[in-house]
């Protein structure tokens, strides 16, 4: 039996399973009794006890504070290399007042995206563009925002339906946003496909890469004129891509050299991991080619941690019906809420003064994998991205800003 595991959003994924299906019922028990303790012992390191307890000393000692520290610790460690904790703290209460600013959040109607949307509105963002794959989810989010924050909050939201895997539609939606505002201070690329079985989009391209990376690139490209205009007027502009510690477990032979490579079936976990590596590399590329010429534009990637989203409620059951359910239950005590899960992203979107970084919860800057810092791999990715967009949609889409060398 060969088992490949990585914990993300509370799930352990298996690359291959024994034929004796009853063993699956033991997985949650084995996780809590064996995997979790041994992982703690093998992978986590704390410089001192004070390092671990540091965040607790800065807030009221309580069960809630302890659990939050545990959740942050797990978020920083699972799916990647061991990290130090207690070096920095940040909370949503520390997000500054955003009066006069304009933001865009993709996938902002549920999960982490909703956490970002709610926080931006609660901090007085003047105008907020929110995209969502499903119109009913968008309407539900607007109703919830009005109920929780008042009618005034809803009036500041412009909702647009969009499917990131439809690149022509994505370009159109971005152009529509650009036509409705003369500034954009914050862009959060959150919309993504979770850990699911391999599928191809309407262009014949792997759906994970199409949705999570290429669609996000097209969207960003078509907003660039407004983003650069805002930055050139002296304002700080922040672009954030949601990545994941699972980028460290992308297929080892990843080169981003052809569509045939993108369409190779690595299994649900690896397809997702590679797409999250692409999100990271996209930011590194933007930092090199965009931030270097427009220093007021800060571009960063974030890892949200283990968060209760559609990933754990819907996507996982398509790929791993029984095993996914079992691990969701086992890890439930450690899973963050959508508001806890958006903390690192809100830090990168509103507070950081740095660019080209990878921020893990709550605001810890980490290096990421060697592949994530490979400049040639980033060049390969963006070259292939431009070629695919040019071939599958319209040349003017790729010329709009991808691969940003003319930024």
- 200 by DSSP, 3-state: which? strand
Strand ranges in 193-296 using DSSP code E only, listed in sequence order: 237-242
pLDDT score at 407: 44
Q: Which of 71, 101, 276, 288 is catalytic?
A: 276
Interatomic CA distance for residues 337 and 264, integer angstroms: 34
Q: Which of 114, 272, 285, 358 is catalytic?
A: 272
pLDDT score at 333: 66
Q: How far is CA 364 from CA 74, 83, 158, 339, in A?
A: 13, 9, 32, 17
> Tokens for 266?
């690595």
Residue 97's CB: how many other CB atoms inside 10 A? Answer: 10
Residue 141's CB: how many other CB atoms inside 10 A? Answer: 22
Q: What residue ranges of the chain have pLDDT lower than 50? A: 1-61, 79-80, 82, 401, 403-407
For 133, the enclosing helix (H) or strand (E) is none
Listing DSSP states for 227-256 in one string gives HHHHHHTT--EEEEEE--GGGGGS-TT---
Interatomic CA distance for residues 161 and 183, integer angstroms: 21
Domain spans in the chain, listed from the N-terminal domain onward: 92-399
Per the CB < 8 A criterion, the answer to whether 178 and 244 are in contact is no
pLDDT score at 308: 72
How open is the CA angle 339-344-346, to the nearest 5 degrees? 70
Per the CB < 8 A criterion, the answer to whether 311 and 289 are in contact is no
Annotation marks residue 272 as catalytic = yes
Annotation marks residue 405 as catalytic = no
> Tokens for 242?
């949601």
Interatomic CA distance for residues 384 and 26, integer angstroms: 43
pTM tops 0.95, yes or no: no
Interatomic CA distance for residues 111 and 403, integer angstroms: 30
Per the CB < 8 A criterion, the answer to whether 340 and 73 are in contact is no
> Tokens for 85?
């904790």
> Tokens for 185?
């201070």
Tens of pLDDT, residue by residue over 255-303, are 999 999 999 999 998 999 999 999 999 999 999 999 999 999 999 999 9
Residue 350's CB: how many other CB atoms inside 10 A? Answer: 25
Second-level CATH architecture of 92-399? 3-Layer(aba) Sandwich (3.40)
Interatomic CA distance for residues 188 and 131, integer angstroms: 11
- 135 by DSSP, 3-state: which? helix
> Tokens for 33?
């009794």
């Amino acid at each position: 039996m060969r088992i490949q595991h990585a914990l993300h959003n509370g799930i352990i994924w298996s690359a291959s399973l024994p034929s004796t299906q009853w063993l699956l019922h033991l997985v949650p028990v084995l996780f809590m009794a064996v995997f979790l303790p041994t992982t703690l012992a093998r992978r986590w390191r704390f410089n001192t006890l004070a390092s671990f307890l540091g965040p607790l000393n800065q807030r009221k000692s309580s069960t809630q504070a302890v659990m939050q520290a545990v959740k942050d610790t797990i978020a920083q460690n699972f799916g990647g290399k061991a990290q130090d904790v207690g070096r920095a703290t940040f909370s949503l209460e520390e997000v500054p007042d955003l009066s006069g600013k304009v933001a865009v959040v993709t996938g902002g109607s549920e999960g982490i995206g909703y956490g970002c949307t709610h926080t931006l509105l609660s901090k007085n963002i003047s105008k907020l563009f929110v995209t969502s794959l499903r119109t009913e989810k968008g309407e539900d989010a607007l109703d919830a925002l009005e109920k929780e924050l008042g009618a005034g909050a809803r009036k500041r939201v412009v909702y647009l339906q969009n499917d990131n895997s439809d690149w022509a539609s994505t370009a159109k939606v971005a152009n529509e946003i650009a036509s409705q505002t003369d500034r954009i201070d914050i862009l959060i690329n959150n919309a993504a496909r979770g850990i699911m079985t391999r599928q191809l989009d309407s262009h014949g391209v792997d759906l994970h890469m199409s949705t999570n990376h290429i669609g996000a690139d097209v969207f960003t490209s078509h907003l660039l004129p407004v983003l650069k205009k805002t930055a050139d007027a002296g304002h700080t502009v922040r672009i954030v891509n949601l990545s994941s510690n699972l980028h460290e477990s992308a297929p080892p032979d990843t080169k981003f050299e052809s569509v045939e490579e993108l369409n190779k079936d690595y299994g649900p976990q690896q397809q997702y991991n590679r797409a999250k590596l692409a999100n990271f590399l996209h930011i590194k590329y933007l930092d090199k080619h965009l931030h270097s010429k427009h220093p007021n534009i800060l571009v960063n990637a974030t890892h949200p941690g283990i968060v209760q989203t559609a990933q754990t409620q819907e996507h996982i059951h398509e790929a791993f019906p029984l095993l996914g359910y079992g691990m969701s239950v086992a890890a439930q005590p450690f899973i963050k809420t959508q508001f806890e899960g958006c903390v690192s992203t809100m830090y990168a979107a509103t507070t950081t003064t740095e660019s080209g970084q990878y921020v893990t919860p709550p605001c810890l800057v980490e290096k990421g994998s060697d592949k994530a810092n490979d400049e040639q791999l980033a060049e390969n990715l963006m070259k292939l991205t431009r070629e695919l967009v040019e071939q599958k949609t319209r040349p003017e889409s790729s010329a709009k800003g991808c691969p940003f060398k003319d930024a």
